[in-house]
Structure 1
Amino acid sequence: MADIIKFPPRKAVKVPPKAEVHRVSHRGHHGRAKIITSDQFETALAKCEEKSVFSTRDRLMLLLSHYAALRAQEIAWLEYEDISDVTGEIVASIHVTKKAGKYGKERTIPMHPAIHVAIAEYCAQAGITEGPIFYGRFGVQMTPNAVQKQLKAIYVACGFKGATSHSGRRGFITKLARTAGSANCSLKDVQLLAGHASLKTTETYIDASPNASALVASL
């Protein structure tokens, strides 16, 4: 019974990518999605185990949001072939395909170790070796709207106000922007990982650091 709860039943049905006229906004009622702290992220992961019907699936979606900056539609349309090689072995990167990427843009993201462990375990236990990775309770591939609602529900259960499916993506971009220099990278690398067409868009995702005074003092 535990396996049934953790892994939704699956049907051989794919949701064809299409333009959605009405989208659930990731901005919320008060502007941009709020970034959550590392401790709050751990709370959200624990809440999946405590409250979520499909805890293993939802935990993986959170990891993809926070450690790969995937949008809701990119999570919903992620397929096993996007994370594996020709032999079916899971690789160390995530390929966002044209059908999943915003405006049909492809990109490849290095896979965070936490995602690699979680996705390998999930796919093995759920018996996923091809096709879509995420399914709803009725065995049909999840839609972007369903992913948005589920991630928002987890944050609400944690008591986090203003957090949405875009919170992980904003946190990812902000953290990388602040540490890019120490890894011999630049904002251009952050832009490419985020899948933005311009640095101007990437900049709108970045929160100002509370340590700006220390930066000036270092001159």
Structure 2
Amino acid sequence: MLTLHTADLLLPGGDGAPVPGGAVLVDGAVIGAVGPYDELAAAHPTARTRRWPGLLTRALLNPYGPELLEQAYHPDPREADDFAHGTDPVTGPDLERLALDDTRWGAGARRGLQRMLAHGTVAVGFPPEGPVRPSVREALRRSGLVTGTRAAVPPGVPALDPYASGAPVTHLHHLVPRNHARFAVFDVRDEAELAARGAGTCVATVLDGRLVFRRR
């Protein structure tokens, strides 16, 4: 089924100009077309339409895979009262006191990956050998998120929101026909507001054509 994702402003990246009222046509796992919504809707009258507020643009890479998934635990909301910072990642001495087994590591990693998707992230950076913990490797495989290779520990502070880390923010995959259908929508007016308010403004994330996060 063809799906049109449209928002107030489309930023395709690369040499593509901003498109007010723009849209991305998703055909399976790839992008079929990009342009003004009215033109794409007229050309593809059977396509389903998903309308979003704000800015539709390229999805994000979070470079802190080991730090956020193998050196931090993401509590279940039912555990939130057990931790000083609720469901924020648990690290350092607090993490050591938990003495997690592999099953809990995997569960925490799955929640961490879901929270990355909720920040418009579709790729996670790891060293070339990938995740060390088997449960984290399996959680990443099942999530569908892309594993990006990093050469060194990136600067900044590990954070679920790439804009909050202080490191340069990496966007993936220009939104052009035949590229992977990987993008996100943020409830902001433009790139400047996205940088100021961060990826917590994400309202939708699409990974290989699938809507993997939608703000309720």
* Bigger fraction of residues in helix: 1
User: What TM-score do you get using the length of structure 2 for normalisation?
Assistant: 0.22
* Bigger fraction of residues in strand: 2
